[in-house]
Amino acid sequence: MKTHKRLWNAVIALLVVFTLAAPASQAINHLPEARAAGTLSTKAHIFYYPWYGLEPYRHWDQGGHTPPDDIGANFYPVLGPYDSGDFAGAVTTHMQQIQLAGVGVIVLSWWGQGSYEDGMVTGVMDIANQYGIKVAFHIEPYGGRTANSVVSDVNYINTRYGSHPAYYRDAEHDNRPAFYVFETYRIADWSPIAPLKSTNIILQQTAEEFTQTPNFGGLYTYDGIAGTFAPGWAVASAYAQAHDLVWAPSVAPGYLDDRAVPGNTTPTIDRQNGAAYDQEWQNALNPANGQPTWISITSFNEWHEGSQIEPARNTPPGGHGYLTYLNAYGLTGSAAQSAYITRTRYWVDIFDPQGSTRPQAPGRLIATAGNGQIGLTWEVASGATSYNVKRSTVSGGPYTPISTVAGTNFTDADLTNGTPYYYAVWAVNSSGESVLATNEASAVPLSGTNLVPNPGFETGSAGNAANWAEGTQHTRIGTFKNGSWSLVSNYTGTGTAQTLSPAIAVSPNTTYTLSGWIYVFKGTNPGRACIDLNGVSGSPQLCTTTDMSQISAWKYLSETWNSGSNTSVTVRLLTDSNPYTTWFDDIRLSNEGSLPPSPTNTPSGSSNLVLNPGFETAGNTA
């Protein structure tokens, strides 16, 4: 059986050519609290493969290799080739290692009713139960899989395995079991699974356009390549938060499948002695990328793709070019072989410190721009006595503390108009800050009145935004940079597609500011997405560029324009055939005037007694 590519719709290949160098301390500024003995995190899920066999070999011979010394992987297991049915041996060792990693849920790769992997389920669950580990399911794209067959699969799994003590049910989501469904994009219509949502959590592998997502109960990514830069994670997390779905981004230590798939052109993610794994965990926990419900780990033992954390031999059979974990996190000897088990425990303890008395993370953060100020509101956090508000001038931080407040709102004043500011909020009590923050929220203070009707696409019906004339494959969608909605373009045709505002009256020979936020999801040969005034002579066109800084992140674009003789304009949102998926939000056309923003902290009182306080009168001398 061939290894299956875990590419996120194969659009992020270009992302992996950049170096991962951020140290673990850059994004995480606290140490994990001690985990109580024997407790495991049910918020950390790890993909587990029960597909290996001996006599005859299964999977170890992938790519034309001849086990036991020559296997279809670039690393070599400490256990050597093993049988997934060796419950007393290999499987017991695996569960011991997963327990040491602090992970409480394994997600079994499952290939259909009556499959080889289905035959391993009960044995794996029996051993998992001995180590306090729960079992969820990863429904793979087996031959003939349809939405209706997945309905049958979920019912079959619940009936056959649901009474087992190791069967995973999420206590925070009405004790519903979890089913990850890989490569959901292979099926166009997932509506048959919608009736299962009330009693199951069925997760869609992340898509960009979300047309089928309402049928699911959550989103995950799986792809360890995409995890290096988290493309689309902020949008996916925002969508999940707005629609009460689980968000379970995936992290991986690396990706390398050269021996399993000879001659492939799939990008490689070098482990960089653990730096790549740390970067992916940081991406998952960074407020700029959203607020995870769970974190899924790719993988425990997908040896073909080199994403495993299972221990690998320091001294594999010679002559085959195997890699090792030597020097990962500075470790050598037997400690190096288990380096990724140890490091997983480190990150799991940060993400979900069992027995911690820290407060939960606050809920959704919203930023609203004003004149020289930004207002923030967020949802209350359980166990919080106060909140730390932090700000950055770049998305993703580092964030600087600016205030500690008791309530769930704060106004940040004395800001520079026209400058984007980025915020996240942590809950606080006597035990310290919450591990997770809110989502990152951002806004741009401006002095003038926005002339664009429905600039955030907050009003309308179904997929249509009020006041805007939507173009081909442009629709209103319940995800956002801010507010609750945005406009998404999934244009894949030739030429261009556009969405137009109604006509906006402007005054002749007046300076205006045109601005907005754009998010382009595209990994290879990125094209443009633009905001302009529909071809008015001399007007600006604000476009994303083709470099990485404009891809897979919300970008604020702004430029001033003198109206000249114009008395009416139309704001246009433009995409061509290359960006593939683009979001627009908070579009603005405003007359900022020529004066600086009015002070927001001037106390009221009697008149100014200083004569000519602004030096407004007299000639060259005051």
Confidence of residue 544 (pLDDT cuts 50, 70, 90): confident
Mean pLDDT of 30-54: 78
Mean pLDDT of 281-296: 96
- Whole-model pTM? 0.87
Mean pLDDT of 184-196: 96
Mean pLDDT of 524-534: 83
CA distances from 23 to 60, 86, 132, 460 (A): 35, 39, 32, 45
CA distances from 321 to 56, 60, 75, 274 (A): 24, 16, 9, 20
- For the stretch 448-505, pLDDT in tens is 899 999 999 999 987 789 999 988 788 898 889 988 999 998 877 778 889 999 999 9
CA distances from 582 to 419, 455, 592 (A): 23, 16, 28
CB 150 within 8 A of CB 140: no
Distance of CA 533 to the CA centre of its chain: 33
Confidence of residue 523 (pLDDT cuts 50, 70, 90): low
**What's the pLDDT score for residue 603?**
45
Mean pLDDT of 539-554: 77
Token pair of 460 as six digits: 């309308």
pLDDT score of 606 more than 60 = no
**What's the pLDDT score for residue 15?**
34
- C-alpha closest to that of 133 among 97, 101, 95: 95
Confidence of residue 520 (pLDDT cuts 50, 70, 90): confident
Q: Largest alpha-carbon pair distance within the chain?
A: 100
148 DSSP assignment: H
Cβ contacts of residue 10 below 8 Å, gap of 6+?
A: none
CB 378 within 8 A of CB 362: yes
Which of helix, strand or coil describes residue 391?
A: strand
Task: List the single range of 351-365, 374-388, 403-417, 544-558 with lowest mean pLDDT.
Answer: 544-558
pLDDT score of 329 more than 90 = yes
Length of the chain: 622
110 vs 124: CA distance, rounded Å: 12
**What's the pLDDT score for residue 249?**
97
Q: Highest-confidence range of 9-13, 197-201, 472-476, 582-586, by mean pLDDT?
A: 197-201
Q: Residue 179, CB half-sphere, CA atoms under 13 Å: how many?
A: 29
pLDDT score of 37 more than 50 = no
Mean pLDDT of 103-109: 98
pLDDT score of 8 more than 50 = no
Mean pLDDT of 117-121: 98
First to last CA, the chain: 86
Q: Residue 502, CB half-sphere, CA atoms under 13 Å: how many?
A: 9
Mean pLDDT of 166-171: 97
Token pair of 292 as six digits: 């995870």
